[in-house]
Amino acid sequence: MASTLAVPGTYPTIRDALEVAPDDAIISIAPGTYRERIELAGRRLTLRGTGEEGTVVVDASALEGPALAVLSGEVSVEGLDLTAGDYPAIAATSARLTVRKCRLSAGYGAGLQATDLSTVEASEIRVLKGQNGLVFSDAGGTVDSCEVRGVNDDGIIVRLGADPVIRNTTVAECGYRGIYVYQSGRPVIERCDVSGTGDAGIVVANSSSPTIRETWVHQTRGSGIVFGAGCSGAVEQCRVEGTAEPKVSVDPRAQVTVSLSEGGPAPRAGISDSGGGGQDAAEVDRLLTELDSMIGLAGVKDEVRALIDEIQVNEWRRSAGLSVGAASHHLIFTGAPGTGKTTVARIYGQLLKALAVLPNGRFREVSRRDLVGQYIGHTAEKTTSVFEEAMGGVLFIDEAYTLSRAGGASADFGQEAIDTLVKLMEDHRDQVAVIVAGYTQEMLDFLDANSGLASRFAKTLEFENYGPDELVMIAGRIAKNDDYTFAPGLAEALYEHFSQIERDRNFGNAREARKLLEGMRKAQSGRLRSLGRMPSRDDLTTLVLDDLLTAIR
């Protein structure tokens, strides 16, 4: 049974309880105002307010940092009011976070910010104040039955490949846009209400590809829905009214299907009529171009193209009345972390959708804890449930080899997950693509865990470590996306740094570049604050050699 620690009953502060709480404990927090910050790194905990709405308040508005910061780990939060100053009320980094029935307030920050592959399950939360409401950056999860109202800037931001599902949510009275999707964001927005924005209701930019379904956009100062050049996606049975003209604006260089309810505006240039269930050649070309734009990975790109070519030729053979053998779309991705496995898996799923192989291409990423139960019989139930949720799309199992590791009873449960997967993969091979990923040697051991496992996969794709020149290009691309430039000589210094860095098992590849850029930005902030004057625009956007030296010192 999980331990329950009472605040302020047994422990005067939340921090006191956290210092002694074991993993899987419940921190039960009584009504009151707690002027402290909660920082959790690698923990599995539940924080639960016990009073009525608004009576359990964590107030960090006078402190440096988010009211709740979660780094890795798995945390659930329920029934709290969380308030921060110039930081997010909640910040999740590489974490799994569940937030329910909470109210969030911030100054110059977001109500909730999720980054670096975090997964957030948010339900019945209200953002009362902030610069932004919800921000998903290279993160995913589900936002259900939530409300963002009266924030200063954008209500919801989805960027850097983030793919949350946002449903049954109200976004109202935001100072700028209601929902802003950019930098390859791929959210699903369904049955939402977006209104009263200072500019457009929903804006899509920078190669993003959302699905906007059964959503009401109304009373906005700008257009209702806007798609920029190079974007794609779908607007399905949406209602757009009381907005600026054009109500739906799509750049001619975008590929978007639009279906509006209640006599909405006719499609504009660049909007294609909704088609049937056949192949979408334009979308296939766009996705392959996106794949080609990824840095490095020449071998992986060739393998993916070969798979797509085979699917296309099989379709031609089928149309010609020729026999087509049964094909598996399950894949094995091997290689070190940070080499693009997750991104390629997402693109692969969208390609299968565009080729009419899978109905939706939805991406579901899981790990051992999502599949393995705690008692006999529980694992098969959990694994089957996860598999069914991924039907029609891609089930991506990261660090899949952890299912086959020896180690007592837990290893038996992992084996049960593998055995269940083997049967499901065969029974539903035309309805889902399973991709397992992990280190090369460990994945070989994983395939030995079940005699039929290896035969379920069509191909193994090896993701090699990035070279120094590729890491410099990745760093440059990240910097450019965040409106930074490199001073002369900095790229050469980065190359030297990446050439000398130790490439052991823990080397993070692109994650190393991202982490280094974050350190350089912090170094730049300290340098600019010491100038004794207001920095110029060039000062603010330029990273210099001293920033690198400070970051790696």
The CATH number of the domain holding residue 138 is 2.160.20.10
Other C-beta atoms lying within 10 Å of the C-beta of residue 502: 6
Q: Does the model's pTM come out above 0.75?
A: no
The percentage of the chain sitting over the pLDDT mark of 70, rounded to a whole number, equals 93
Q: What does the pLDDT read at residue 503?
A: 73
Q: Are 490 and 515 contained in the same domain?
A: yes
Q: What is the C-alpha to C-alpha distance for residues 88 and 65, in angstroms, rounded to an integer?
A: 8
Does residue 79 or residue 438 have the better pLDDT?
79
Q: Are 331 and 402 contained in the same domain?
A: yes
Other C-beta atoms lying within 10 Å of the C-beta of residue 285: 12
∠ Cα 274 277 281 (to 5°): 80
Classify residue 158: in a domain, yes or no.
no
Q: Are 269 and 348 contained in the same domain?
A: no
Burial of 367-399, coded b for 16+ CB within 10 Å and e otherwise, reads bbebbbbeeeeebbebbbebbeebbbbbbbbbb
Q: What does the pLDDT read at residue 325?
A: 67
Most confident of 241-250, 271-280, 375-384: 241-250
The SS3 assignment for 299 reads helix
* Final residue belonging to a domain, choices 419, 440, 463: 463
First-to-last C-alpha distance (Å) of the chain: 46
Q: What does the pLDDT read at residue 263?
A: 46
Helices (H), 98-218: none
Look at strands 96-100 and 119-123 and give their pairing. Answer: parallel
Classify residue 168: in a domain, yes or no.
no
pLDDT digits (tens, 9 = 90+) for 155-199: 999 999 999 999 999 999 999 999 999 999 999 999 999 999 999
Q: Are 491 and 541 contained in the same domain?
A: yes
Q: What is the C-alpha to C-alpha distance for residues 286 and 291, in angstroms, rounded to an integer?
A: 9
pLDDT digits (tens, 9 = 90+) for 490-514: 999 999 988 888 777 667 788 888 8
Q: What does the pLDDT read at residue 277?
A: 44
Classify residue 172: in a domain, yes or no.
no
pLDDT digits (tens, 9 = 90+) for 445-473: 888 877 778 888 888 899 888 889 999 99
Q: What is the dihedral of CA 11, 16, 18, 20, to 10 degrees?
A: -80
Look at strands 202-204 and 179-181 and give their pairing. Answer: parallel
For the record, the structure tokens of 406 come out as: 């020896």
Residues in the chain: 553
Would you say residue 104 has pLDDT above 90?
Answer: yes
Classify residue 167: in a domain, yes or no.
no
Classify residue 456: in a domain, yes or no.
yes
Q: Are 448 and 368 contained in the same domain?
A: yes
The percentage of the chain sitting over the pLDDT mark of 90, rounded to a whole number, equals 49
Classify residue 177: in a domain, yes or no.
no
Helices (H), 297-432: 298-319, 341-354, 368-371, 378-389, 409-427
Q: Are 23 and 137 contained in the same domain?
A: yes
48 phi-psi bin (left φ>0, alpha ψ -120 to 50, beta other): beta
Does residue 376 or residue 50 have the better pLDDT?
50
Return the H-helix or E-strand segment holding 240.
Answer: strand 232-241
Give mean pLDDT, residues 531-546: 89
Confirm if 492 and 334 have CB atoms less than 8 A apart: no
Which amino acid is located at 400 in the chain?
A
Q: What does the pLDDT read at residue 178?
A: 97
The domain that contains 410 carries what CATH number?
Answer: 3.40.50.300
* Final residue belonging to a domain, choices 275, 308, 334: 275
Other C-beta atoms lying within 10 Å of the C-beta of residue 269: 10
Q: Are 207 and 60 contained in the same domain?
A: no
pLDDT digits (tens, 9 = 90+) for 525-534: 999 988 888 8
Give mean pLDDT, residues 83-107: 95
Instruction: Specify the number of domains making up the chain.
Output: 4
pLDDT digits (tens, 9 = 90+) for 7-37: 988 899 999 999 999 999 999 999 999 999 9
pLDDT digits (tens, 9 = 90+) for 268-324: 323 233 333 467 777 888 888 888 888 888 889 988 888 888 888 887 887 777 776
Q: Is the sign of the CA dihedral 319, 325, 328, 331 positive or negative?
A: negative
Q: Are 394 and 475 contained in the same domain?
A: no
Classify residue 170: in a domain, yes or no.
no
Spatial CB neighbours of 72, under 8 Å, sequence gap ≥ 6: 41, 42, 93, 94, 95
Q: What is the C-alpha to C-alpha distance for residues 224 and 250, in angstroms, rounded to an integer?
A: 11
* Final residue belonging to a domain, choices 275, 294, 322: 275
Would you say residue 538 has pLDDT above 80?
Answer: yes
Classify residue 159: in a domain, yes or no.
no
Domain that holds residue 192: 183-275
Q: Are 197 and 128 contained in the same domain?
A: no
Q: What does the pLDDT read at residue 489?
A: 92
Q: Are 491 and 384 contained in the same domain?
A: no
Q: Are 261 and 357 contained in the same domain?
A: no
Give mean pLDDT, residues 436-442: 86
Q: What is the C-alpha to C-alpha distance for residues 526 and 516, in angstroms, rounded to an integer?
A: 16
The SS3 assignment for 157 reads strand
Return the H-helix or E-strand segment holding 5.
Answer: strand 4-7
Q: How far is CA 452 from CA 387, 422, 536, in A?
A: 18, 7, 63
Tell me 329's DSSP state: -
Q: Are 11 and 119 contained in the same domain?
A: yes
